[in-house]
Chain A
Amino acid sequence: MNKLFISPSPHVYEDTTVKRLMFDVVIALLPALLFSVYFFGMGAIIVTLTAVVSCLAFEWLIQKYILKEEPSITDGSALVTGILLAFNIPTNLPIWIIIIGSLVAIGIGKMSFGGLGNNPFNPALVGRVFMLISFPVQMTSWPVPTGFNNSYTDAVTGATPLAVMKEGIGAGESVSAIMDKIPSHMELFYGYMGGSMGEIAAAALLLGLGWMLFRKVIKIHIPLSIFVTIAVFTGILWLVNPESNADPLFHLLTGGVMLGAIFMATDYVTSPMSVKGMWIFGIGIGIITVAIRVFGAYPEGISFAILIMNAFVPLINMYIKPKRFGEEVKNG
């Protein structure tokens, strides 16, 4: 007879693994990647490849030579970070800046805390914000989405709709006048606007959300709470004064709201564990995003909003607990 295996229960496991979850996220990112290639051409491919290859390479090098542990780059998490980092930068960003950004994302954002599962901040956002602050000019010269023939090195650049809006309102123009200068809501939905590589096409990102929900990778609570908060907050401002505040739909479709809410804020490691905590987290992100957009110096604020709320996650996890069975008994 063979030797019998002995272990405590349970003896069966669901077949989901960390790797499968990560590759489901990659699949969910594909529609947006295709849209970006369609709008930005070669630049999108070069930026994505650079970010992915350097994230994987840095993780492997750090694990192998600094931490001296078995490299685990095949788990797909560095791949996701690489793609997300690429999604968060303009498609004409010089390769050397992307490599530095990847080193910061993986090296400081992830590995310095102990690797997958231990980082308090979303690594891709750490990389992005580092680049935004260090290279503000390169990070805010957005190529215009002219199509696949778009050149990587000398793309025509222009401002994002959010920047146009912010500048216009700052100069005292009316919102309806500014709206004439930027693409229609329908065009914004399909992604015909300047911006970071992967943030432009709301339609494609929502497809990705659908896939992740279908595969039970994430729950709806975080994206939904962010969308609702932004819509309500900007909706109130818009109703109060429609001539100096953009409408809620504009806020949802522009900038990084879709990308941030669907793919960055839902990062397992840096988001709360309980459903109640997820709502608090999402509402916080929504409020901070709108506050930065409307009252702050930057036209866009979701990266900062997510990072700020990431910092609150340990606190949220400590105080916001799921309701325990039999805790407060109401029997009648």
Chain B
Amino acid sequence: MLKTFPKGGVHPAEGKYSANSAIEVLPLPKQVSIPIAQHIGAPSKPLVAKGDKVKVGDKIAESTGFVSANIHSSVSGTVVKVDNILDSTGYKRPCVIIGVEGDEWNESIDRSTGLKKEISLTDKEIINKINESGIVGLGGATFPSHVKLSIPDDKKIDVLIINGVECEPYLTSDHRLMIEKAEEMLVGIQILMKALGVNLALIGIENNKPDAIEHIKKLVKDYPGIEVHALKVQYPQGGEKQLIKALINREVPSGGLPLDVGAVVHNVGTAFAVYEAVQKNKPLFERVVTLTGKSVKKPSNFMVRIGTPTSDLIEAAGGLPEDTGKVINGGPMMGKALNSLDVPIVKGASGILIMPVELSQRKKEVNCIRCAKCVSVCAQGLEPYLLNRLAQLEKNDKLETDGVMDCIECGSCAYICPAGLPLLDYIRLGKSRVSQIIRSRKQ
């Protein structure tokens, strides 16, 4: 029996067209737009101004708090301006726009390709280095990684969980990384283990990536304390709470964090970025991004500099298909639909998905027939039909007691609903209202 979370979940068509496309380095763009708010927490403060020369890896914006992250230039060239431009949220946000000139890297970055196994830094130094390098959760949540490694004194961590699940359909960036950069990733995991002071790390991978599971299983023999576990293909297996439950059978309490059950979760992409930062002194300025879709000519995985316009990736994968209806930043279950192709690639962008017109529209809405499918697929044990109705009626007290804040917004309810109801739209609305109320209560 494969491990999995106990209740709910769906299994959408996987569509992993780009699973066998090796990671290609995307040609340098002409210009990059690097948003100063690419992470959860306070936006960073720009350190550069129009006309400044920067090199690859130079810090261009500084973290402004504990929960915040540094931003580094992904190219060498001249700062054109610091201006508000449209990003993947659909809002205009401040970005540092840099005209690309050559590819000159900051001298402190070790550009050798050999694997560096021995870890010389101490735990404190590792966390500082990760903070300095602007590393955030690369699975998509973009939570600053150093915060997750700074464990409060009253908590005890005994296991590191590495998320290689990639349960979003279509996306393959983590899959390719686990095949092509497995050793670097494993050293990255060892670094994270050292930073946390734990002796056990569990890598969870969905069973639709047997090549990655086999490959890493062979390699982990040389890395004591690291185990690989195949997981059932069931969305949202990669949800933090679901993954912890599946791997170590501990349930993160409602409103709690993985810390509360002695676990810390990091994504495989983050582990790789940690390796590069700690062993090669290379800050986070590029990442693997999947460019895929049913009609895409050449579904690909690219190594992309942060700030590259989405359109560059689309061109490199054979151009925008004729029948394009929707372009999604992220996977089909949780990604954001883009309203412009100039939107820059950010740290949290694991993929760009191009949907043909016929798959871009929602189902026709009819009455709720109370089939209870939403209840049975909810991995959080909530009642989406009820939360939907309560949010429509603005019953905020009831929404809170019925657990709206536990919703992880995985979208399984709206996916399964035979009546085509936009359940998650209303639940999100309810969530934002309730969280406002909770905040005002604390003040």
Contact A5 B334 (CB under 8 A): no
Least distance between A186 CB and chain B CB atoms (Å):
36
Number of interface residues of B (CB under 8 A): 74
In chain B between 343 and 371, which residues have their CB closer than 8 angstroms to a CB of chain A? 353, 355, 357, 359-364, 366-371
Tell me which of A5, A17, A274, A325 contacts B363 (CB under 8 A): A17
Residues of B within 8 Å of A274, CB to CB, are 372, 375, 383
* B326 in contact (CB, < 8 A): yes
Given contacts A10-B411, A14-B10, A18-B366, contact A273 B169 (CB under 8 A): no
10 A-B residue pairings within 8 Å (CB atoms): A7-B362, A8-B336, A8-B425, A9-B332, A10-B334, A12-B359, A21-B369, A116-B369, A317-B386, A325-B241
Contact A273 B336 (CB under 8 A): no
CB nearest to B335 among chain A residues = A9
* B79 in contact (CB, < 8 A): no
Contact A12 B13 (CB under 8 A): yes
Given contacts A9-B335, A21-B418, A117-B368, contact A273 B375 (CB under 8 A): yes
Least distance between B434 CB and chain A CB atoms (Å):
15
Contact B254 A327 (CB under 8 A): yes
Contact A5 B415 (CB under 8 A): no
* Most chain B C-beta atoms within 10 Å of own C-beta, residue among A13, A14, A325, A330: A325
As a 0/1 sequence over residues 8 to 29 of chain A, the CB contacts with chain B under 8 angstroms (1 = contact) are: 1111111011101100000000
Tell me which of A9, A20, A324, A325 contacts B418 (CB under 8 A): A20
Contact B370 A117 (CB under 8 A): yes
Residues of A within 8 Å of B169, CB to CB, are 12
Contact A325 B406 (CB under 8 A): yes
CB nearest to A7 among chain B residues = B337
Contact A117 B367 (CB under 8 A): yes
Contact B241 A11 (CB under 8 A): no
Least distance between A323 CB and chain B CB atoms (Å):
5
* A133 in contact (CB, < 8 A): no
* Most chain A C-beta atoms within 10 Å of own C-beta, residue among B253, B255, B320, B371: B371
Interfacial residues, chain A to chain B (CB-CB below 8 A): 1-2, 4-14, 16-18, 20-21, 72, 75, 77, 115-118, 219, 268-269, 271-275, 317, 321-327, 329-331
Residues of B within 8 Å of A17, CB to CB, are 363-364, 366, 418-420
* B182 in contact (CB, < 8 A): no
A330 to B251 alpha-carbon distance, docked (Å): 7
Contact A2 B324 (CB under 8 A): yes
Residues of A within 8 Å of B51, CB to CB, are none
Least distance between A126 CB and chain B CB atoms (Å):
17
* B225 in contact (CB, < 8 A): no
Residues of B within 8 Å of A6, CB to CB, are 90, 326, 337-339
* B32 in contact (CB, < 8 A): no
A14 to B373 alpha-carbon distance, docked (Å): 11
Contact B424 A10 (CB under 8 A): yes
Least distance between B367 CB and chain A CB atoms (Å):
4
Contact B428 A8 (CB under 8 A): yes
A219 to B372 alpha-carbon distance, docked (Å): 10
Nearest 6 interchain pairs by C-beta? A10-B411, A117-B367, A324-B381, A326-B254, A12-B332, A273-B372
* B243 in contact (CB, < 8 A): no
Given contact pairs A5-B325, A8-B424, A325-B241, a sample of 12 additional A-B residue pairs in the complex whose CB atoms are under 8 Å apart: A4-B337, A9-B336, A11-B332, A11-B337, A11-B360, A13-B363, A14-B12, A21-B371, A116-B367, A117-B368, A273-B372, A324-B381
Contact A326 B252 (CB under 8 A): yes
* B7 in contact (CB, < 8 A): yes
